[in-house]
Amino acid sequence: MNPNLEQLQPYPFTKLQTLKEGLQTVDKPHIALSIGEPKHAPPEFVSSEITQHLDKLTAYPLTKGIEPLRQTIASWLCQRFQLTQVDADTQVLPVNGTREALFAFAQATVSPGSKVLMPNPFYQIYEGAALLAGAQPHFINCVAANDFKPDFASVPSSVWQQCELLYICSPGNPTGALLHTDDLKQLIKLADRYNFNIASDECYSELYFDETSPPLGLLQACEEIGRTDYRRCVVFHSLSKRSNLPGLRSGFVAGDSELLQRFLLYRTYHGCAMPLPTQYASIAAWQDENHVQKNRALYREKFSSVLEILNGCLEVQQPQASFYLWPRVDDGERFAKALFQEQNITVLPGAFLARDNTGLNPGRAYVRIALVATLQECLDAARRISAFCR
């Protein structure tokens, strides 16, 4: 067996199940706000595209994906992030959701003994990817004093010198914090100085509140400094959150053509080509923005209504983007446990999403609340949380 498997921690939801074991709860309908799994209705036209192309299940799909899908993704990137050009042949690679790709990218690009840097709290795939690649995770705390952005200035030059890969997540999971243009440009300079690559997880980029001000992306920062080859930079996008299609397992990686060429080689051996019906359905999803705008409107309504109820009960504010609330509750595990017992609501302790680092677990005093349930369920949950806190 791979000895690095012994370093993996249980997944956050495994820890949550352990926390809840044996607890008695009240006779109220259970409301799950712990998992970031979209519950809004997926677009019907995507399902239709799948059924229309079921005959293509008789053919092996190419790992690189079909050209119309890559062209559609390239066009979407250019329109969404004001990019001059994205080469659909060399700078785009379809993948089976960002989770698989974020993990695999480290296996293809990181050498044993190096360091992989990541925010803290974080999406646990980053840590597992680093460990199973034989690398050492280095955590960068995200605290309120820094607007929940990673404190990159706290990283010593000796750590940057050992770094081969930096994971960033903007909008951030779980905090919803955004990295801005200056942040991204500074990271690109650091990548050049210390010779590492940047993997930007942007799967929440289409869940924002101001239609006139969408979150920026890493490739957009590259464009602004004239780096149209996107050297050292790759971005990861998904239809899961944008289009309420988590079960489609469809996303893409885009950016540095040299990195993607090597990643394609890895994936060819990995055997993870996207089924052709999924590719055609993905084309339809990426080409349509109407359903995405309606999706954002649903989240805006939920955040507005829920925060109005929670005002004065919890130390919480609307995130800059994403569908999470990140309230401070002093002890996240104790809060989650008592809330489940007294109100039959499940939220995720922030400590399960973070690691002890420099004497601090930056998630310990928080819980993550995913506003993914229906509006009525979210309102019911907010009222129960308010009663619980009062």
pLDDT per residue over 99-152, tens digit each?
999 999 999 999 999 999 999 999 999 999 999 999 999 999 999 999 999 999
Query: Does domain 44-288 bear CATH number 3.40.640.10?
Result: yes
Q: What is the CATH number of domain 3-41+291-389?
A: 3.90.1150.10
Q: For residue range 28-49, what is the model confidence (pLDDT) as tens digits?
A: 999 999 999 999 999 999 999 9
| Cα distance between residue 206 and residue 24, in whole Å | 39
Q: What is the pLDDT averaged over residues 52-58?
A: 94
Numbered ranges of CATH 3.90.1150.10 in the chain: 3-41+291-389
Residues of the chain with CATH 3.40.640.10: 44-288
> Which pLDDT score, from 0 to 100, does residue 390 have?
85
For the four alpha carbons of 375, 381, 385 and 386, in that order, the dihedral sign comes to positive
Sign of the CA dihedral with 218 first, then 138, 171, and 317 last: negative
Q: Model confidence over 303-326: pLDDT tens digits?
A: 999 999 999 899 999 999 999 999
Summarize pLDDT for 250-268 with one digit per residue, the tens.
999 999 999 999 999 999 9
As a whole number of angstroms, the distance between CA 115 and CA 143 comes to 22
Q: State the pLDDT at residue 378.
A: 98
181 pLDDT tier (thresholds 50, 70, 90): very high
Q: What is the pLDDT of residue 298?
A: 97
* Tens digits of residue pLDDT in 335-378: 999 999 999 999 999 999 999 999 999 999 999 999 999 999 99
Predicted pLDDT of residue 313: 92
Enter the pTM of the model: 0.97
Residue 365: partners with Cβ closer than 8 Å, 6 or more residues away: 328, 329, 330, 331, 332, 350
C-alpha radius of gyration, the chain, whole number: 21
